Structure 1
Amino acid sequence: MRKLSISLLLLLTFVQLSIAQRAVVRGDFADPSVIKVGDTYYTTATSSNWAPAFPIMKSKDLINWEQTGSIFPDLTAWADFYYWAPELTYDNGKVYVYYTAHKKGGNLCVGVASADSPEGPFRDHGPLVCQEVGSIDGFPVRDENNKLHLIWKEDGNSVGKPTPIWIQPINEERTALTGEKRELFRNDTPWEANLVEGVSVIKNNGYFYAIYAAAGCCGPGCTYATGVARAKKLMGPWEKFSGNPILSGQGDWMCPGHGTAVVHQGKNYLMYHAYDRASNKYTGRQALIRRFEFTPDNWISFTDDYLSPADKNTAYKVTDDFDKNKLGLQWSWSVFNKPALELKNGRVGLHMKDDREVFVARRIDSRNYEATVETIPVKDALAGVALIGDDKNLIYAAAKQDSIHVTLVKDGARSSLGAFPVAAGGKHLFIKLTVKNNTDIRFHYSLNGSDFTRLETLSADITYMPPWDRALRVGILGKGVQGDAVVVEKFVFESK
């Protein structure tokens, strides 16, 4: 009986620890990379097809993060989309970022940029490696002789092939690979399924350790997990741990992987991403930090010691009055349709370049939230609030002077969910979107900002959003034709 009680106590403690872990960066923040410069930590993450590319955040404790800007406020000249997996490194007083992007007219490549400060500005040096099926997840490391190398993944899974992890020397200027590439390892065990990727290398007690991710990364059907391999020399031979995966779904979090190791107060941690089980694909892959230890037999074992925000209350409210001369850092837009904006007199104007929807949006970080747009409707063009998966998958309520229109866009095809007459000519109009439990979406409007009337629309199934590697965003939308413009005075977002 005593043994049973102890076992039960240990089980309850394990469950409590699992539930207690909370994201250090909430919402869409996949493939996080972290470095320390002086007494400050810096992190960045995948931005995919949202711009600006690769948000930069800083922290003193790895728990409380503040965004300071982005690595590429404007996109790079050589790439057009899929800005993935940035890897920060600090070497000899200079900051480098190795990143993945889709080359114009080509495929995925690993590129590099540099800066004198983690907060930029960054100077792009272009692509380093572009294999036929794609090259992703660059990671720099020095070998046992201090010679610099680049590790990356050949994206074979995109064409139904294995995924070798390659290594090749790189010059100290970080402008070109040198010598010959060599394979370190590939997906060859059942738990790894169709891929291995996201390698982060550290060194301890005479071993190099490659912490890596495997299996399906994204969406509600993800199978992602984390493994480790080791070698005495960087070029190998590499040995995979027989107990892999060393990190898999636990408690509130599922599909953990693709992280970077960091030392904090003398302890080893991994900053990585995982999906919250409750909000899953809708909030996207969020950043977590968990401690690991080196075992007596020279492997790696994760502990139940997490770095998590102390405040369990995740509700908050933010307002943007557009009283600055540029958009705040919370805002992003599609890499395929950069909006023409004008900020003036406490308002933001969106100018139409064609008949596509144009939008600026922000991350969501819970399954319950609301967003309100205050606009001054114009005669022909529409302005309002939108929930966005990508350019071809969104839902919005937007108004002109005499009416409000609710529209669902699925794979580029538009469907009207209702049109409602509203006499708002020359007056301020407030349009509100509310979401409960990820997909229960409703729209309301008000002429005074306090008394809202529900728009009785056709039911909307939004479970098809977002795309596989991204999360939903909510924001401001304009719709018209070339030459039209709309005006928005205020945006309010509230996470419940």
Structure 2
Amino acid sequence: MEKDYHVLSKKGAWGDQGDGTYVNPILPGDYSDPDAIRVGDHYYAISSTLHCSPGMAVLHSKDLVNWSMIGHVVQDLTSIGPEYNYDRMNRYGRGVWAGAIRFHNDKYWVYFFTPDEGLFMSTATDPAGPWEPLHRVWEVAGWDDCCPFWDDDGQGYLVATHFADNYNIHLIKLSEDGKELLHDSARIIHQYKGSEANKLYKINGTYYFFHSEVRAREGVEARDVMMLRSEHIYGPYEEKEIIHTHGKEIDREPNQGGLVQTVSGDWYFISHQGSGAHEGRPLHLLPVTWVDGWPIIGEDTDGDGVGEMVWGGRKPMNGHPATVLSTSDDFDRDDLKPYWEWNHQPRADKWSLTERPGYLRLHACQPIDKDNFFAVCNVLSQRTFRTVHNEATAKLEMGGMADGQEAGLCHFAKTYCTIGVQQLNGIRILKFNNSGTVIWGPKLTGTDLWLRSIWNMDGISRFEYSVDGMQFESFGDAYQLSWGHYRGNRVGVYSFNTESEQGYIDVDQFGYEVRGVDKE
């Protein structure tokens, strides 16, 4: 019996089903603004990170379905500007926006805009890093969604949207080293309401310019995915819609993404879908077919030459095992695993993996604003996922705490919620804080504390604690995970002190268990 992939998706299935098929999303978490390429038989993708550090996530796959994070392009957000630093933390919802990755002259190239500071680029010989120090190509505000392209004659170009100027899309030549824009060459090649998500390709001698824009259909505005094509890079271009989108409640608007061709010659579209739900914008994979020289994304169900959302199908290639989505850490390395990101740029002298090997030591910082969790520096977090069962557990050792210090497990996006311990007058007390609504718990006499958050598809989290790691008790109220600042919900650990710079905690383990539905 043929699978109903849409039903499976609604039930919580995702990714590789273990029987040669897959279900969308292929990654049920916040991997927004993706772009993807193939080099040999390896696939690489990038995803925007906004105010999180390190910036611009890099992912790897062998089959376009099973992905893992392998690194970041930007190690220090202050190389973009001072507002990203722990003493300002002033770039929520901004920062590293959608970019593009390309392979050219035996190097990987990534370009991206931030809406306030300009255009940046970096290169690497290995996409896992290290990446060259970030280079600012253009100091400017109001631009986004760029993509580099090198033509057959070696001339490089950049396509980008000037969103502050009526969403005009410009095509500009690059210098030979790719580090400068030749502004005299700039031309506006397209404009429409909300036109962005730009990618530029040359396929079988024809230039294809991919983008999305906001159009009204039956009185409802949705983001439509468009393709322009021309025999000449500056046009004139023909235009065609290549997938219908029907709004966030129906197909979740697949739009931002990239086309990629497999070794066998098949084409696919890697995309995010933006519903503004607690998981953010998850990663999806859609087949691409070519008809009369135009790509059709998804499936043309009604014969109008335009695709519709596809919720699953046969894997692009077999022979690669399903990835067990694990983001747990026992901190036994001298660097953080790639799925960890700090809230803005952390204070380097306030965390360590070497002071006590096998532990993450978080020294307490004084917040910029003592009554604002979003002003707490050195909050270390990762993406939360939308699956049938999620369980995040942190084991803390509290022996190094000082008066005024608070530390624990947190969720945050638009709102925040913490379960932790606060030390007052030498006494440690369990504390729950839902965006300023505090519930105090019992005194804690030992030095070990386990804190846990459990949530499912609806994103309602319930919290537990344990003093022995075996017997857990409920504590605090239920908390609705949220979306905010263009990010899905984050889960992580924190430590701060409103009275001084004293105290630390040691995080022994962070376990994150993700479970989907049984394979059908």
TM-score class normalised by the smaller sequence: 0.7 to 0.9
1:88 paired residue number:
101
Say if 2:493 is the partner of 1:484. no
2:120 paired residue number:
111
Are the equivalent residues in 2 in contact too, given 1:364–1:473 (CA < 8 A)? yes
2:395 is paired with a residue of what secondary structure?
strand
2:19 paired residue number:
none
Q: Distance in 2 between matches of 1:33 and 1:314?
A: 20
1:325 paired residue number:
334
1:334 paired residue number:
343
Q: Distance in 2 between matches of 1:245 and 1:231?
A: 19
Q: Distance in 2 between matches of 1:454 and 1:227?
A: 50
2:303 paired residue number:
none
Q: Which digits, 9 at most, give the CA deviation of each residue in 1:52-100, with x for residues without a partner?
A: 1112222222222232221122225233451111311111212211112
Q: Distance in 1 between matches of 2:140 and 2:326?
A: 45
List alignment gaps of at least 5 residues for structure 2.
11-21, 85-90, 300-312, 368-374, 516-520
2:69 paired residue number:
67
2:284 paired residue number:
288
Matched ranges for 1:146-295 at <5 A: 146-156=154-164, 162-178=166-182, 179-187=184-192, 194-215=193-214, 223-241=222-240, 243=241, 245-246=243-244, 253-264=251-262, 265-275=264-274, 281-295=277-291
Q: Following TM superposition, by how much is the alpha carbon of 1:186 offset from its aligned partner in structure 2, in angstroms?
A: 0.8
Give 2:416's match in structure 1, choosing from 381, 394, 402: 394
Percent of residue pairs identical: 21
Q: Following TM superposition, by how much is the alpha carbon of 1:232 offset from its aligned partner in structure 2, in angstroms?
A: 2.2
Task: Classify 1:167/1:148 alpha carbon distance in 2 versus 1 (closer, same or farther; 3 Å).
Answer: same
Are the equivalent residues in 2 in contact too, given 1:314–1:495 (CA < 8 A)? no
Say if 2:439 is the partner of 1:418. yes
Are the equivalent residues in 1 in contact too, given 2:460–2:478 (CA < 8 A)? no
Q: Following TM superposition, by how much is the alpha carbon of 1:256 offset from its aligned partner in structure 2, in angstroms?
A: 0.6
The count of residues paired between Structure 1 and Structure 2 equals 452
Are the equivalent residues in 1 in contact too, given 2:394–2:509 (CA < 8 A)? yes
1:418 is paired with a residue of what secondary structure?
strand
Q: Distance in 2 between matches of 1:307 and 1:320?
A: 30
Q: Following TM superposition, by how much is the alpha carbon of 1:471 offset from its aligned partner in structure 2, in angstroms?
A: 0.8
Which one-letter code corresponds to 2:281 in the other structure? R
Are the equivalent residues in 1 in contact too, given 2:160–2:198 (CA < 8 A)? yes
Q: Following TM superposition, by how much is the alpha carbon of 1:223 offset from its aligned partner in structure 2, in angstroms?
A: 3.6
Greater relative CO (CA pairs within 8 A, separation 6+): 2
Q: Following TM superposition, by how much is the alpha carbon of 1:177 offset from its aligned partner in structure 2, in angstroms?
A: 1.2
TM-score normalised according to structure 1 size: 0.82
1:493 paired residue number:
512
Q: CA RMSD in A?
A: 3.2
Q: Following TM superposition, by how much is the alpha carbon of 1:435 offset from its aligned partner in structure 2, in angstroms?
A: 2.2
2:185 is paired with a residue of what secondary structure?
coil
Which one-letter code corresponds to 2:366 in the other structure? D
Which one-letter code corresponds to 2:447 in the other structure? K
List alignment gaps of at least 5 residues for structure 1.
1-8, 188-193, 410-414
Q: Distance in 2 between matches of 1:309 and 1:396?
A: 43
Give 2:396's match in structure 1, choosing from 366, 375, 398: 375
